[in-house]
A and B are shown apart, each in its own frame.
Chain A
Amino acid sequence: MSQADSIHTLSLKGIHDGVHTGKFSVMEATDAYLDRIERFNPELNAYITVTRDTAKTQAVDIDNRIRKGELTGAMAGVPYALKDLFCSEGVLTTCASNMLANFISPYDAHVAEKLKAAGGVLLGKNNMDEFAMGSSNETSAFGSVCNPWDVSKVPGGSSGGGAATIAARLAPMTLGTDTGGSIRQPASFCNITGIKPTYGRISRYGMIAFASSLDQCGPMAASAEDCALTLNIIAGLDGRDSTCMDLPVPDYTATLNGSLEGLRIGLPKEFFAEGLDAQVADVIDRAIKQFQAKGAIIKEVTLPNSHLAVPVYYVVAPAECSSNLSRFDGVRFGHRCENPKDLMDLYERSRWEGFGDEVKRRIMIGTYALSAGYYDAYYLKAQQVRRLIKQDFEAAFKDVDVIMGPSCPTTAFGIGEKKDDPISMYLEDLYTIPVSLAGLPGMTFPIGFAADGLPVGMQLVGNYFEEARMLNIAHQYQQWTDWHTQVPARFA
């Protein structure tokens, strides 16, 4: 059946309309994606778990409910995936770690619950860097993920499996998380659209924590419109997360077509300085000119403390993770070593065996930064600088409506290239980390290909809770261009 062959080219709205007008069933849509996963996942390794059976059961149920008119929403009948750190009831939830290689979650994360209730069909759980710590998806205990645009390259990280999934159209939408750039950087490497909303916009309940004050969940999809539809469902108050804000959720699709005439776009000069790959800079320049041609006003802004963001991040995030990961102790769930001889042995060996090198490195850095005598010099100081970074953005937003710049300094690098050089890996997130530290919303959308043939994404930063504005801007860009619809030939 020819329709099934093209389902993966549809937008969320296309799938929704298809299943609601009877062009194809939810089961057919689900099967189409499951077949693609079966065919392509072995070479990409984008999924850790494929929930084939439950997906089919859900599809039958949702088909029925759509037929009875019980389900009509935008996600009804739409397949999707989840980064493997969202707890999914009855489903293996590994965080790409040996520590949780056997962990079947007894409950659903808030966002998983929302998508389930909206009638989405869960296809599976995406590969990622272990506990979301990494920028290349190489720290996964379940193996690296390959970039669909060049399988010798990384997809970025930590939501690398999700980015590869969307790039190869192995799901129309997935949820990632972004702590220091984990949605935006892989989106840039893989030519997809992804948004990290304002910290507090979406409940973190059931999202296995890396760094609690930075972690935020967000949609990854082909287009800004698909992200907007998803955000409509997952954003909003949840009483189970104290840091989730009680603010009204706008209809993010309602303002997608707003004009960009007079839009003030700020370009932070620090993001265009030394370190930015020239071929990436070229692609960025070209896109900026397109905005200018459509009536946007381009201004230079300055974020004078942004050079401190990476060091600040590598104190704050490891500090929080060192504490967040203490619960993985081999006592109640997760990996437990064989025949512990006493309690200390149980702790030490379970954690030694369960965690990978990068996770251990960050636990050690964080433990050190919080230790008596070092707390003031590291953690406290980092929090103070974090405030300065936030103030930089607040000042910039007095002059401009949004900020644009590169999502990362380079295009996707080779698998194995930076694996043994953590510092250069950490610098990958140079442009995304300041935004995370400030708690601001940031997104990446495709703007073309560099001279090396690899995709480049634009980072777009909005003021607090201005996701609608950002989605509007990206959507408009996607009306003028077709970068976001491009798929590597092999996966077309």
Chain B
Amino acid sequence: MEWETVIGLEIHAQLSTNSKIFSGSSTAYGAEANTQANLVDLGMPGVLPVLNKKAVELAIRLGLAIDAEITQRSIFARKNYFYPDSPKGYQISQYELPIVGLGHMDIQLENGETKRIGITRAHLEEDAGKSLHEDFQGQTGIDLNRAGTPLLEIVSEPDMRNAKEAVAYMKKLHALVRYLGVGDGNMQEGSFRCDANVSVRRPGQPFGTRAEIKNLNSFKFIERAINHEVERQIDIIESGGTVVQETRLFDPDRDETRSMRSKEDANDYRYFPDPDLLPVVITPEDIEAVRATMPELPDAKKQRFMSEYALTDYDASLLTQSREVADYFEAVAQGCGDAKLAANWVNGEVSKTLADHDLDITAAPVSSVALVELLQRIQDDTVSNKIAREVFEAMWKGEGSADAVIDQKGLKQITDTSAIEAMIDEIIAKNPGQVAEYRSGKDKLFGFFVGQAMRASKGKANPNTLNDILKQKLEG
């Protein structure tokens, strides 16, 4: 009998505020340990938290984008637990009344269908510091630079049925967070990370016991972790065991999840409303003010790309996966005036080269302006599409602008008919046998002559001109 997987995700998105959620310290990443931790972050006796309004605004932005209810009076609560990187002995979070209520997001499945994923809630909270075990023999160092960094925890409904859906959901949310400017989504720095709740069941049966896999910070890991966890759970059940509710860690090196703590060991967090903070009151006017600053959302952008630029669903989907790629594409499309050409290049050569170098579009060495110049050389027949790829590669390596590369390497297409004629005459003279065969009806040999001519021109002959002249001479 088959198994059905049930997945719900809790995603922590770091908010792009300049200062922390309850103190004035900077949130910049990578500073020397404890240089961005003030009295409040250190949890000194007597200090008090003051809410950063920007964090509230960013939470509302995300809430609006997922069509969620914004809570008019949300409450900060204390989550009590002892850990050295939690300086107050509690984390300020939200519990019963989170700022963002029920919402949803549509994801596209591999078969092209759309699936709606429910989002239970999103709440604001502060991040913890970091424990550093490596550099101190027999001791643990504490870096509180990250303590108090604002996070939005976005909790989905258990609506996903396989790892690919989970990845699609996470990618879509990742894009959304970046689109909205809610967070930078930097996964290496932990600005966007995910806990996955995974269980299996027979279709139609109630939910099985779930395991929570912690701290998945790449799309690759989440897919692998879920797949391994599903296998593990099925193995347990099929060999007569029962899955226990627990928290597990994914080990990407060994490709397995391992138990961190069971439900019995789980903390009783003793949540209660934080008496140091007033309820966050959000008026309909506040919400409208945020709505007025919302950028175009990915789904709307995709629709517009399809109608405005006559792109296919596939192209438009790819181009709107990130705001930066969409912006890059639009700049190129408008610059060269041929959206299809622009889409082919951005989804083709550009995205392939980015992937090869593991780079983000914002780090692409070929700017949209530079790409427009190259595409214009295709449009005015200076180079063929094929030669253009060679030019692009050189541009990527920093060898100069499109024109400069074409010039330096002498890649300008030969459109001068007399030069092409001379080349063809020479080829015909050198290959009398093939000419005879062709003329006696062996049409397929035409390709042979094209190849010879192209090689002679080092690929620079304008293919249309070359074809015309060759045909003329051979028939001649």
A, B from the same assembly: yes
Residues of A within 8 A of B84 (CB): 329, 331, 343
Let me know if A57 is at the binding interface, CB within 8 A: no
Which of B44, B84, B87, B140 has the most chain A CB atoms inside 10 A of its CB? B44
Is residue B438 contacting chain A, with contact meaning CB distance below 8 A?
no
CB-contact partner of A333 in B45, B49, B88, B270, under 8 A: B45
Interface of A with B (CB < 8 Å)? 85-87, 93, 95, 100, 103, 105-107, 109, 204-209, 211-213, 239-243, 319-320, 322-323, 325-329, 331-334, 343, 347, 367, 370-372, 375, 379
B51 touches A242 (CB 8 A): yes
**B49 / chain A contacts, CB cutoff of 8 Å:** 242
In the complex, are the beta carbons of B272 and A323 less than 8 A apart? yes
B residues contacting the other copy or chain, number (CB 8 A): 29
Residue among A95, A332, A343 having the largest count of chain B Cβ atoms under 10 Å: A332
Alpha-carbon distance A190/B276, docked complex (angstroms): 32
Partner of B46, one of A209, A211, A320, A322: A209
Q: Say yes or no for B43: interface residue by CB 8 A criterion.
A: yes
Does chain A have a CB within 8 A of B182?
no
Does A320 contact B50, Cβ atoms closer than 8 Å? no
- A62–B80 alpha-carbon span in the complex (Å): 45
**Taking the nearest CB of chain B, how far is it from the CB of A145, in angstroms?**
22
- A and B contact pairs by CB, cutoff 8 A, 16 listed: A87-B46, A95-B45, A105-B46, A205-B47, A205-B48, A209-B45, A241-B50, A242-B278, A243-B276, A323-B90, A325-B89, A326-B88, A329-B84, A370-B270, A371-B268, A372-B270
Closest beta carbon of chain B to A130's beta carbon, Å? 13
Q: A105 touches which one: B45, B90, B270 (CB < 8 A)?
A: B45
B448 in contact (CB, < 8 A): no
Asked whether B275 is an interface residue with its Cβ less than 8 Å from the other chain, the reply is: yes
| Interface members, chain B 62-81 (any A CB < 8 Å) | 78, 80
> Given A240-B48, A332-B87 in contact, is the A323-B43 Cβ separation under 8 Å?
no
Interface check B331, CB cutoff 8 A = no
Name the A residues within 8 Å of B187 (CB-CB): none
**B142 proximal to A (CB < 8 A):** yes
A329-B82 contact, Cβ under 8 Å, with A95-B45, A206-B47, A242-B50: yes
Report the separation of the CA atoms of residues A86 and B275 in the bound assembly, to the nearest whole angstrom: 19
Residues in B whose Cβ lies below 8 Å from that of A211: 275
Closest A residue, CB atoms, query B76: A242
Contact partner of A208 (CB less than 8 A), chosen from B46, B82, B90, is B46
Q: Which A residues lie within 8 Å of B89 (CB)?
A: 323, 325-327, 329
For residue A323, which residues in chain B have a CB less than 8 angstroms away from its CB? 78, 80, 89-90, 270, 272
Q: How far is the CA of A241 from the CA of B22 in the complex (A)?
A: 11
B50 and A107: CB pair below 8 A? no
**Nearest A residue to B22 by beta-carbon distance?**
A242
Taking a contact as CB atoms under 8 Å apart, the answer to whether A372 and B268 are in contact is yes
Assuming A243-B278, A371-B268, is B48 touching A327 (CB within 8 A)? Answer: no
Distance of B204 from chain A, by nearest CB (Å)? 32
Q: Is the interface of B mostly helix, strand, loop or mixed?
A: loop
Q: Which residue of A lies closest to B39 (CB)?
A: A107
Chain A positions within 8 Å of B270 at CB level:
322-323, 367, 370-372, 375
- Output the least CB separation between A59 and chain B (Å): 26
Give the distance in Å from the alpha carbon of A85 to the alpha carbon of B51 in the complex: 24
B272 touches A206 (CB 8 A): no
4 cross-chain pairs, A with B, having the tightest CB-CB distances, nearest first: A326-B89, A213-B275, A370-B270, A212-B275
Shortest Cβ distance from residue A230 to the other chain B in the assembled complex, whole angstroms: 20
Interface string of B10-23 (1 = CB under 8 A from A): 00000000000000
From residue B21, how far is it (CB to closest CB) to chain A in Å?
12
For window 395-448 of chain B, which residues contact chain A by CB distance below 8 Å?
Answer: none
- Residue among B39, B42, B48 making CB contact with A204, cutoff 8 Å: B48
- Does A242 lie within 8 Å of B277, measured CB to CB? yes
Q: Taking CB as reference atom, which chain B residue is nearest A86?
A: B46
Q: What is the minimal beta-carbon distance from A343 to any residue of chain B, in angstroms?
A: 7
Separation of A206 and B42 alpha carbons in the complex (Å)? 13
Contacts A242-B51, A327-B89 given; indicate if A347 touches B82 (C-beta within 8 A): yes
The interface residues of chain B lying within 8 Å CB-to-CB of A212 are 275-276
The reply to whether A240 and B43 form a contact with Cβ atoms under 8 Å apart is no
Contact B50–A239 (Cβ < 8 Å): yes
Shortest distance from the beta carbon of B42 to any chain A beta carbon, whole Å: 6
Assembly CA distance A105 to B276 (angstroms): 21
| Contact indicator B272/A370 (Cβ below 8 Å) | yes
Contacts of A85 in B (CB 8 A): 46
| CB of A425, distance to nearest CB on chain B (Å) | 24
A208–B43 alpha-carbon span in the complex (Å): 11
Q: Which chain A residue shows the least CB distance to B85? A: A331
Q: Is the CB of A205 within 8 A of B80?
A: no
A319 touches B272 (CB 8 A): yes
Tell me the complex Cα distance, A93–B77, Å: 28
Question: Could you say which residues of chain B place their CB within 8 Å of the CB of A325?
Answer: 89
Residues in B257-280 with C-beta less than 8 Å from chain A: 268, 270-272, 275-278
Q: How far is the CA of A320 from the CA of B50 in the complex (A)?
A: 18
**Contact between B275 and A240 (Cβ–Cβ < 8 Å)?**
no
